Structure 1
Amino acid sequence: TTRQAGAVTLHSYAFPYHKTAGERVLNTAAQALDLYSRLFSPYPHEHLAVVEADFLDGMEYDGLFFLSYGFYNLDNGTPAQYLVALTAHETAHQWFYGVVGNDQALQPWLDEALCTYAEKLYYETYAPEALTWWWEARVNYYQPRGYVDDSIYNPHGEAQPYRAYRDAVYLNGAVFLEELRKQIGDEAFFDFLRMYVNENRGKIASAQDFFRILRQTTRAPLQPLLERFFQNVP
């Protein structure tokens, strides 16, 4: 199925028995595309494809992403579900990975933390009634911990390396961004995100770029907050 979101054509590829879920994904992606285009920068392509996949989890590419059939199987008809949250997440990767690149092995938080927090921005805008569900089921349930700037290589020798990676990089990363936003205020926070995207468009951004631009957009005392969440603060 297809639909327009401004000048962008969205394509949803779903198995026949997931027609309704596929339409929900298409509508969610269209909403997220419009929101992120306004908050970060215009979407750079004419098309975006969302493909139901026969493997677990989601996977982003530039102009295309996969979502697991498992999310479609559990479609409950409301925004309070992983099918919607992960669609918003993978759409955000079109900016944080697509427009602005990063080292996804050594500094994965530069895309995954931002994309996880972008889910929250989606819920704030389009489904505020499900925002409490998002915090509780997506983030707080797992009691996220760990340094946001961990790599994918299990640097602390965790017994459950994926769980530790996800809790630190994705979920604690979202907690950090929420606390940062509260500390510096919405105006400075969104000015920072736009500046970060625009200055690093088509480049491989680094943590040093992130912190440098952040400090340019606010005079708030950031060091205590940064040292709580990061092991390496340039």
Structure 2
Amino acid sequence: MLKKRKYVFAVVVLAILVFSLLAYQNLSVPHKNLYEITASFDPAQKTITAVQKTVYVNTSGRSLKEVIFHIYPNAFRDEKTAPFFPSEFSKAYPSGFSPGGIDIQWVKVGGRSIPFTIEGRDKTILKVDLLKPLKSGRSIAVFMSYTIKIPPSEGRFGHGKYTYNITNWYPIACVYDEKGWHKDAYWILGDPFYSDVGDYRVSIKTPASFIVASTGDIKKEAVRGGYKTWSIVAKNVRDFAMVVSDKFKIASDKVNGITVYSYYFSEDEFGKRALRYGRDALKFFSDYIGPYPYHQFSVVQADFYVGGMEYPNLVMIDKGLYTKSNVFNMEYVIAHETAHQWWYGVVGNDEVNEAWLDEGLTEYSTIMYLEGYYGKSVADNVFSKAIEKPFEEFMASSKDTNTLKPLSQFKGWEDYTNLTYNKGAVMYSHLRKLVGDKVFNQILRKYYNDYKYKNATTQNLIDVATQVYGKDLGGFFQEWLY
């Protein structure tokens, strides 16, 4: 135990020295934020110890006195703020609740410690007070040290019997747009995230027996003294996620020059099925919407009870889907999460206030995938039974059918699912019938190309659709969304 602590301390000190030499403040730089993280993962203690350098670029158009970060792990400190409904707790915490969280040891700029506060209803906001105002168009290097406790949760962030799901784990800069800082809580419903594209350089040290599936390209693996250090680079991504396990098997294939990986711990039959579904979905969406712009894509079986979850270059899939009785559900979920690489990953949006924008388009894109591989009759049958019928039943009994509202205003999963996934997909089906297959495809391709690596809004989508169709579609969207 003493040796481990000394090793971690040495890594942290070295990282501080290296980062300090690279620090700069108020310099003109490209518009993207840069995250450099040196971390050590300890499965025995269920912790991650890290030093992080964030080069934050002020694109706000005004001077800023502070930089604000999300620190999502703190939502898992308390049962009252953990992002699960009470009815889900037995699935989220099958071994019982135990807290997770992130402890910030210090924050520095230019070698000097600076004040910071932790705020928000779930303590997931880190406000860093700058030593002097940061002018628009300039950048600042913010250094911080922290320790993360990984909870025994089988949700996005936590660990189970097979995997450590290390997602939404590090301090990530809040979006600053025309509304100011977006300091949203980690809401129970939906995917409560909104982030800008950035570049990442991550070094993660694990015991040598562990395998890391991650966002980005693994550039180097170095083994020393029973530990392995993974050096990872990810460019033009809006988040960085890892799933770590000492039980992973790996299968891989290539499509359109992209390496597709399947990380799994079930029987080979299902791990290879997952690989095929991921490969097929990646090819379909690349051909139909626009090229996948990264080098790799990973489909990862995980201790994750919610079905599937998307992150850049990586999707987590519920281990329970890797069975004979669930192969169709496995394919559907993998295709859906793969579509998110286009709608959320490359074309971003505010998932807190406009959740329908990526979910509705992703759900209908999944139907298009089924149509592409299995024919229109199969796709229409799935659409009718799984999307259209539940939506119509919901609409017949619901008084509030407004789609454009923040996550805090949805009543529960039925409400959220029908008004973001199902209603969005039904709307796209009607839009496709209205404008025709060719124009519909042109709308999606232009929307993808125009907002690649940007954050889009509902109005941006309406403007693109109107421009491609040649007629005002504002009324069509207005009727469906409100």
Q: TM-score, normalising length from structure 1? A: 0.88
Tell me the equivalent position of 1:110. 357
Q: Deviations over 1:93-121 (max 9, x none)?
A: 11111111100111111111111011111
Q: CA deviation at 1:223?
A: 4.5
Tell me the equivalent position of 2:371. 124
Percent identity (aligned): 31
Tell me the equivalent position of 1:7. 257
Counterpart CA distance in 2 for 1:212 and 1:136 is 29
What is the letter of the counterpart of residue 45 of structure 1? Y
Matched, 1:227 2:478: yes
| Residue pairs, 1:35-50, within 5 angstroms | 35-50=284-299
Q: CA deviation at 1:136?
A: 3.7
What is the letter of the counterpart of residue 107 of structure 1? E
Q: CA deviation at 1:187?
A: 1.3
| Structure 2: runs of 5 or more not aligned | 1-250, 396-400
Tell me the equivalent position of 1:51. 300
Counterpart CA distance in 1 for 2:380 and 2:322 is 22
| Structure 1: runs of 5 or more not aligned | none
One of 105, 117, 140 as aligned partner of 2:388: 140
Tell me the equivalent position of 1:166. 417
Closer, same or farther in 2 for the Cα pair 1:72/1:151, shift >3 Å?
farther
Counterpart CA distance in 2 for 1:229 and 1:74 is 38
Tell me the equivalent position of 2:141. none
Counterpart CA distance in 2 for 1:154 and 1:52 is 32
SS in 1 for 2:274: helix
Q: Deviations over 1:116-135 (max 9, x none)?
A: 01111111110126324422
Counterpart CA distance in 2 for 1:38 and 1:49 is 19
Counterpart CA distance in 2 for 1:197 and 1:130 is 27
Return the structure number with greater helix share: 1
Kept in 2, the 8 Å contact 1:150–1:168? The answer is: no
Counterpart CA distance in 1 for 2:403 and 2:320 is 27
Counterpart CA distance in 2 for 1:106 and 1:230 is 13
One of 61, 77, 87 as aligned partner of 2:311: 61
Kept in 1, the 8 Å contact 2:302–2:316? The answer is: yes
Q: CA deviation at 1:221?
A: 5.6
Q: CA deviation at 1:148?
A: 3.4
Return the structure number with greater strand share: 2
Counterpart CA distance in 2 for 1:76 and 1:203 is 36
Counterpart CA distance in 2 for 1:138 and 1:74 is 20
One of 265, 279, 285 as aligned partner of 1:30: 279
Q: Alignment RMSD, CA only? A: 1.8
SS in 2 for 1:172: helix
What is the letter of the counterpart of residue 436 of structure 2? G
Which structure carries more relative contact order (alpha carbon 8 Å, separation 6+)? 1
One of 405, 416, 419 as aligned partner of 1:150: 405
Residues 115-124 or 25-34, more deviating: 25-34
Q: Compare CA radii of gyration and give the structure with the larger one.
A: 2
What is the letter of the counterpart of residue 37 of structure 1? S
Residues 212-221 or 5-14, more deviating: 212-221
